Structure 1
Amino acid sequence: MSRLRGRSALGRLTLGVVLAAVLSALFTVVPAQAATGQITGLAGKCVDVAGANSANGTAVQLYDCNGTAAQTWSNSGDGTLRALGKCLDVTSGGTADGTTVQLYDCNGTAAQQWAVSSANDIVNPQANKCLDVTGNNSANATRLQIWTCSGGANQKWSAPASGGGGGNPSGFVVSEAQFNQIFPSRNSFYSYSGLTAALSAYPGFANTGSDTVKKQEAAAFLANVSHETGGLVYVVEQNTANYPTYCDWSQPYGCPAGQAAYYGRGPIQLSWNFNYKAAGDALGIDLLNNPWLVQNDSAVAWKTGLWYWNTQSGPGTMTPHNAMVNGAGFGQTIRSINGSLECDGRNPAQVQSRVDAYNRITSILGVSPGSNLYC
């Protein structure tokens, strides 16, 4: 029984299986507004360079706000956060929970990229993890690290806004007018408000690196979901004869919603009971018992698409998110979504359809499509 992604909403669709479980939120907080240049978080304390020491490898910690240069951070819009002339850096470029952060010479690597989201998360997109106060400890000199995003108070920050916001109230690099231009015949279910509401689930998405990279990633995602759904027309898989085939009874949790309940739904056409379980666990939504949420709640539908995009490699070797932010190119997003059926000459017409959509959307967004468009 294949577990690879299949065809579009008009045919058979499956997703790869990787659990990216997100911890339940421990606290609900509204961070205090930071003074210009400061990054404030737990207990109203500041992100601080230990000893105001600018040497490479100096620990970055939580400390009482004191207005010194060791707590003055700039967000210039290139994805870095800088203090004392150096960059906030994930030690050794690590991606594991508990990897500490430090001050280091700015070097343009993914270890120094940070996405400051409207939900007050500061995310390292390479690891897809949040800046975190170790042990939820508000004591002075508590070391900062990266950790799986949980929504906890120890991961909420008020940071300097980057320059050049573009005037879009949603904060998304695609405006509502552009979204409507991209999808002139879309089903009303796929709303712009549903998409922007879903963005907080993966704050690194289309919010990483330069404005060019952000727009290219947004265009790549929208091009692929356009292909999967006939231009955001189809909410559910059209071949109803396939519906009973997406239940893998070998899974210990079975198919509690019914044999035929796990058909393709949403922008990436989530299907199979194990994928509903994985996506639901990651998003904190019980999709195994209530898969119909994906066709009834626009924000939930968009979140499942972002779950796949940001956490799953499918038949590829990287997530589509990493393909775009690390320069691998649009072709690798195709491989991660449906490479086993389309790439390496298997179905060049389908690949071309995706590339055509990507080129059209990047043109609307006013950005170059970049290189490596094919797989």
Structure 2
Amino acid sequence: MARPLSAAVFTAVLGLSACLLSASPAEAATGAITGLAGKCLDVAGADSADGTPVQLYDCNGTNAQQWTVGSDGTVRALGKCLDVAGNSTADGAKGQLWTCTGGPNQKWTVTAARDIVNPQADKCLDVTDNNSANGTRTQIWSCGGGANQKWTAPASGGDGTSSGFVVSEAQFNQMFPSRSPFYTYSGLTAALGAYPGFATTGSDTVKKQEAAAFLANVSHETGGLVHVVEQNTANYPHYCDWSQWYGCPAGQAAYYGRGPIQLSWNFNYKAAGDALGIDLLGNPWQVENNASVAWKTGLWYWNTQSGPGSMTGHNAMVNGAGFGQTIRSINGSLECDGRNPAQVQSRVNAYQKFTQILGVPPGNNLYC
């Protein structure tokens, strides 16, 4: 288990090609569209009336969140189309549901950067005010690259994935043949919207190398995505630091390791929860009960924490530092510089296997 440079002990690990959102009728893709904070594009109240707001909402699997990408570039739910109100091209024009007319305000393109663009306005589908609260309306806005304009949409073709992630579900299953049913592929892809730069930065090779690096470290930490919670229950009462001003509101023994990075300690639940907009300090059990939340904590560490290293795992991969630096950022103080070469080799073996599955070379600097 790693000790980051901060006093916080963190027991943790840690393209979609540009295409028109279209397919032949037989290839039309249906599924959730996830965005800011991993929430779903949603039809308010599951109401199919013309003019019903299209909003952001917790993913719930209902028909109000099932979007079909049509052969004509439309995006449909409840039998109607995602529409820009008033055929407007202005910043702030609202997204709504409307009877499909074939008009240009109902045409959409998804880019490699996960923007969903209305070509008529040349503007992006946007979550108003970067607000991840349930019920926040969508609009079109000049594309700026913000997280509130990043979406993971169902699509067909390209790299063969239906999620927009560079790892297909079949490849994920090949990587983790004995995984716990908790660690779902859909949970992972739903979490991607929280960190839209993950596995979407750089060349196709770099994108796949980063995905492989993250998943290899996660695999090592969880025994191949087998373990959801820390196995040594005797450790559970040890992860409460009462010196923190907020204490341990969920209880002395509530902050044990959970999820793909085995998130532990009250201060790490607080930091991850604050970053993700989720109350993990008050309800840490979300990490073991909600696959998307669990994956978000892993992506939080990977994209924002350098641990005992000098860079995040994300930066190590996209800036060419190599897989070895991701090991250092996750558990370098216990494994790197000859401290535990067998553990390092285990991580490297997983990374080499996963890059082979994805069809890319592992690159240089594999060891730390």
Name the counterpart of 1:51: none
Q: Is residue 231 from structure 1 mapped to residue 224 from structure 2 by the alignment? A: yes
Name the counterpart of 2:316: 323
Secondary structure of 2:282's counterpart equals: coil
Q: Is residue 240 from structure 1 mapped to residue 233 from structure 2 by the alignment? A: yes
- Kept in 2, the 8 Å contact 1:329–1:370? The answer is yes
- 1:118 and 1:276 map into 2 onto residues whose CA distance is 32
User: 1:4 deviation in Å?
Assistant: 2.9
Q: Is residue 43 from structure 1 mapped to residue 92 from structure 2 by the alignment? A: yes
- 2:298 and 2:115 map into 1 onto residues whose CA distance is 19
Counterparts in 2 of 1:46-195, with a 5 A limit? 115-117=113-115, 149=147, 151=148, 155=149, 165-195=158-188
Name the counterpart of 1:308: 301
Q: Is residue 219 from structure 1 mapped to residue 268 from structure 2 by the alignment? A: no
Secondary structure of 1:372's counterpart equals: coil
Paired AA for residue 43 in structure 1: G
- 1:304 and 1:370 map into 2 onto residues whose CA distance is 27
User: 1:241 deviation in Å?
Assistant: 1.2
So what's the TM-score if we normalise by structure 2?
0.64
1:314/1:180 CA distance change after superposition, 3 Å = same
- Kept in 2, the 8 Å contact 1:359–1:369? The answer is yes
- Kept in 1, the 8 Å contact 2:336–2:344? The answer is yes
Identity percentage of aligned residues = 75
- 2:173 and 2:12 map into 1 onto residues whose CA distance is 27
- Kept in 1, the 8 Å contact 2:116–2:125? The answer is no
So what's the TM-score if we normalise by structure 1?
0.63
**From 281, 297, 303, the counterpart of 1:288:** 281
- Kept in 1, the 8 Å contact 2:91–2:142? The answer is no
Name the counterpart of 1:50: none
- 2:318 and 2:273 map into 1 onto residues whose CA distance is 25
User: 1:146 deviation in Å?
Assistant: 6.8
Name the counterpart of 2:348: 355
User: 1:116 deviation in Å?
Assistant: 2.7
- Kept in 2, the 8 Å contact 1:173–1:218? The answer is yes
1:41/1:358 CA distance change after superposition, 3 Å = farther
Q: Deviations over 1:285-309 (max 9, x none)?
A: 1000100110111111011001101
- Kept in 1, the 8 Å contact 2:221–2:261? The answer is yes
- Kept in 1, the 8 Å contact 2:217–2:347? The answer is yes
- Kept in 1, the 8 Å contact 2:229–2:262? The answer is yes
- 2:211 and 2:221 map into 1 onto residues whose CA distance is 16
Q: Which segments of 5 or more consecutive residues in structure 1 lack a partner in the other structure? A: 6-11, 17-21, 34-39, 46-72, 78-114, 121-129, 137-141
- Kept in 2, the 8 Å contact 1:118–1:171? The answer is no
- 2:160 and 2:288 map into 1 onto residues whose CA distance is 31
Which shifted more, 206-215 or 350-359? Answer: 206-215
- 1:262 and 1:3 map into 2 onto residues whose CA distance is 16
1:282/1:175 CA distance change after superposition, 3 Å = same
- Kept in 1, the 8 Å contact 2:322–2:364? The answer is yes
Q: Deviations over 1:217-254 (max 9, x none)?
A: 11001100000000000001111111111111111100
Name the counterpart of 1:263: 256
How many positions carry a matched residue from both structures? 271
Paired AA for residue 92 in structure 2: A
Q: Which runs of 4+ in 1 moved over 2 A?
A: 2-5, 12-16, 27-33, 40-45, 115-120, 130-133, 142-147, 155-158, 162-165
- 2:181 and 2:110 map into 1 onto residues whose CA distance is 40
Q: Is residue 272 from structure 1 mapped to residue 265 from structure 2 by the alignment? A: yes
